[in-house]
Amino acid sequence: MKFLTISSYKDSYASLSAEEKRKVGLADTEYILDLKKKMGDKLTFYSIAGWGRYVSIGEYGSLEEYAQTVQGPSNQAGYSNMESYPLIEWDIEQVKAYLEQAKTAK
């Protein structure tokens, strides 16, 4: 199963000192790199400069595996917000057949 996860820092993160933000940021980066190393091509991260959010798409063997991967340091400390959405893969031939069926049903 695949999930799209969007995460961002909460306002409480902004109240941290520069040194604390650096520590949390480094811990998150190390956590992400470790996950990427473990999961390989099954996990991809995206970040857009100035957007203030991080996006990942991952393929997981179970919900338990997914739950373990979203427990990064900033999330455990309560400094981040996360939204997750399950993704499905469409078989293009099934989509075409569905569209043809929908057209004839009119």
Length of the chain, please? 106
Total structural domains within the chain = 1
Residue showing tokens 């979203």? 70
Residue 21 has pLDDT above 80, yes or no: yes
Q: What is the pLDDT of residues 33-91, one digit of tens each?
A: 898 888 888 888 888 778 888 898 999 888 888 888 888 888 889 999 999 999 987 88
For the domain that residue 49 is a member of, what is the CATH number? 3.30.70.1060
Report whether 57 contacts 69 (CB < 8 A): no
- One-letter amino acid at 22 equals R
Structural domain harbouring 59: 2-105
